[in-house]
């Protein structure tokens, strides 16, 4: 896994109930290569099932636009034509790419969707016993540089100016899908629910009994424990990036699967970063960027955006929060 970190498995703390001629219904499905859980508060179970399927269709629509693994998608076409020609894309794809480049700019390259072109020299399956050489690491990022992504807003085209480049949206794609599914549900008149995109959550409204949605942020150092319970009763989003599920441990040092696209080395300073705001796509971008930037530079970045709160685990004795 490249740029979007493995997310904390944020637990949804609620019980399905029936009251006031409404139903709270949940469905779990595999989408975008991950597990999604969709919960809606709707008028009845038939309507809830139909609307959940509409949310699934919306997420599948997005995957068919931005997946770099499906050869027919617009992003795959962009990658296949790297160094050859610009590719015309839908406005939605163009704007998502534009937002990704914005994150690259504000994070000074800590966030970079072209990192998917990096050579696969790191292994996070427990088999890696020694670090790659500096020469190999330096070579691995030769095709990684967001500044070589050329956008033409007039013609709505994306051009990767260097052959061998690729872009991918593992870093913000699931959060974006959660946001779009929530947007669709609101348009359909669904007044409450949660789109849980593999731990990237977009919520709106309240539980069927009127209580806020309660979301537990897992403690990355203690399995099964939480370090914070969040309560949401309006449009909110939360995402987490962390190094505690996929990593390599070499000479008693943990190397996260979240790699610095400028250096080719994994992040090592932070254990997890949780971001809370209104927009899951934005939360995704910030959590990934901060994991790469580290504590000092990461805090400098997020403090510029007061609409977003954070919970950063730096060590067992050091949890930094602004919630």
Residues in binding site for Mg(2+): 171, 288
The torsion region of residue 277 among left (phi > 0), alpha (psi -120 to 50) and beta comes to beta
Give binding residues as ranges. Answer: 171, 288
Alpha helix positions (H), the chain: 45-66, 74-80, 91-106, 134-140, 173-187, 280-293, 295-302
3-state secondary structure labels for all residues of 156-208: CEEEECCCCCCCCCCCCHHHHHHHHHHHHHHHCCCCEEEEEECCEEEEECCCC
Could you give the 3-state DSSP secondary structure of residue 270?
coil
Tell the residue number behind the tokens 């505690």, with chain if given: 244
CA separation for the pair 320, 310 (Å, rounded)? 8
Question: Taking each helix axis from N to C terminus, what angle separates 45-66 and 91-106, rounded to the nearest 10 degrees?
Answer: 70
Identify whether the C-beta of residue 271 lies closer than 8 Å to the C-beta of residue 148: no
């Amino acid at each position: 896994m490249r740029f979007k970190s493995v997310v904390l498995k944020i637990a949804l703390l609620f019980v399905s109930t029936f009251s006031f001629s409404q139903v709270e219904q949940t469905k779990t499905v595999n989408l975008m290569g991950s597990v999604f859980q969709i919960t809606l508060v709707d008028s009845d179970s038939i309507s809830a099932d139909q609307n959940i399927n509409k949310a699934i269709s919306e997420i599948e629509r997005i995957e068919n636009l931005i997946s770099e693994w499906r050869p027919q998608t617009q992003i795959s076409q962009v990658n296949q034509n790297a160094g050859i020609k610009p590719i015309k894309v839908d406005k939605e794809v163009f704007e998502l790419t534009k937002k990704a480049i914005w994150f690259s700019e504000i994070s000074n390259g800590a966030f970079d969707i072209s990192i998917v072109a990096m050579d696969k020299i790191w292994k996070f399956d427990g088999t890696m016993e020694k670090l790659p050489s500096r020469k190999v690491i330096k070579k691995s990022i030769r095709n990684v540089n967001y500044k070589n992504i050329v956008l033409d807003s007039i013609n709505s085209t994306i051009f990767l100016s260097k052959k061998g480049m690729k872009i991918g949206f593992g870093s913000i794609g699931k959060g974006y899908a959660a946001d779009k599914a929530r947007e669709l549900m609101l348009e359909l008149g669904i007044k409450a629910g949660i789109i849980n995109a593999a731990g990237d959550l977009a919520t709106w409204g309240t539980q069927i009994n009127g209580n806020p949605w309660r979301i537990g942020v897992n403690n990355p150092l203690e399995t099964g424990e939480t370090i914070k319970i969040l309560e949401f009763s309006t449009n909110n989003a939360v995402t987490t990036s962390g190094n505690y599920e996929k990593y390599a441990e070499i000479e008693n040092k943990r190397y996260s699967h979240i790699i610095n696209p400028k250096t080719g080395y994994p992040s090592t300073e932070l254990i997890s970063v949780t971001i809370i705001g209104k927009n899951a796509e934005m939360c995704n971008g910030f959590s990934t960027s901060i994991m790469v930037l580290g504590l000092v530079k990461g805090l400098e970045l997020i403090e510029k955006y007061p609409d977003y709160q954070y919970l950063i685990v730096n060590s067992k004795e050091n949890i930094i929060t602004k919630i």
